[in-house]
Amino acid sequence: MKVLAITQARYGSTRLPAKILKEVDGQTLLEIHLRRILQAKSIDKLKIATTDEEGSRFIVAVADKVGVGYHKGSVDDVLSRFYSTAEPDHPDWVIRFTSDCPLIDPVIIDEIVRFAVEHDYDYVHTDPRCFPDGLDTEVMKFSALEKAYKEANLTSEREHVTPYIWKNGSARGGTLFKTFDFQNREGVFDASDYRITIDEAEDFEVLKALIQALGTGRYWKEYIDYLLAHPEIKSMNSKFGYNEGYDKSIRNDKTIK
């Protein structure tokens, strides 16, 4: 069984350009993100799915520093870019990350991979109702990714990679894929209350405070506990909603012919 992890990373960003290249204590957020993924025991290989934009050279430099591969592809058709990153490796399973989650958790990665494989799901992801924004982990069979690549025809499905899978999955009453919403084992929190991602300038201030206080090697709940103990830090980015990028895509959705 071969498990390939892929994280999406691009230089451009409408809300916070070059956000993943911001540094805390001499490390870019992208480097922190990659090194945390590499701690997962279930992953055989990690690659970056980046773009043909001029700024991608900075992302490639981080990839080279950490020692992971990369593939350059479409800015807008991210599903095509993601699939093209995966296909040459012929994996059995693919894990999808987005690089705006620097504190992604290797323990959660291993738990979800193990659960997906043991129960033979086509797709399992962190349930956004009970995980903080910033721990987004999606595990899928390569066959499910390939089917989405060939059949997805909405711009939102191409831009966000997995909507075709989870919208047609059994967890939502669909019949094309066997899917599951994985809940955290801590029994805590509505995810909308906690934000450890990087999309806005305020997000960076929260992440910087967490990393400077706790370092980059803690379990996800330790970062959340710190925010619980320091409401003045948590409040810095609490006005922003979950998955605003996907909501915008839905509002502007259209069918690709």
Domain boundaries, the chain: 3-251
Q: Which of 187, 223, 192, 188 is nearest to 207 (CA)?
A: 223
Give the separation between CA 244 and CA 192, rounded to whole angstroms: 12
- pLDDT score of 169: 98
Contacts of 226 by beta carbon, 8 Å cutoff, 6+ apart: 210, 213, 214, 233
- pLDDT score of 218: 97
CB 194 within 8 A of CB 184: no
Class of domain 3-251: alpha beta
- pLDDT score of 193: 82
Q: Please, which pLDDT band fits residue 184 given cuts at 50, 70 and 90? A: confident
For residue 194, how many C-alpha atoms fall within 13 Å in the half-sphere facing its CB? Answer: 27
Q: Please, which pLDDT band fits residue 246 given cuts at 50, 70 and 90? A: low
- pLDDT score of 244: 59
Q: Please, which pLDDT band fits residue 76 given cuts at 50, 70 and 90? A: very high
Helices (H), the chain: 29-37, 56-66, 78-86, 106-119, 142-151, 155-159, 163-167, 201-214, 220-229, 231-234, 244-251
Lowest mean pLDDT among 61-75, 142-156, 190-204, 219-233: 190-204
DSSP SS3 for 44: coil
Contacts of 53 by beta carbon, 8 Å cutoff, 6+ apart: 10, 11, 12, 75
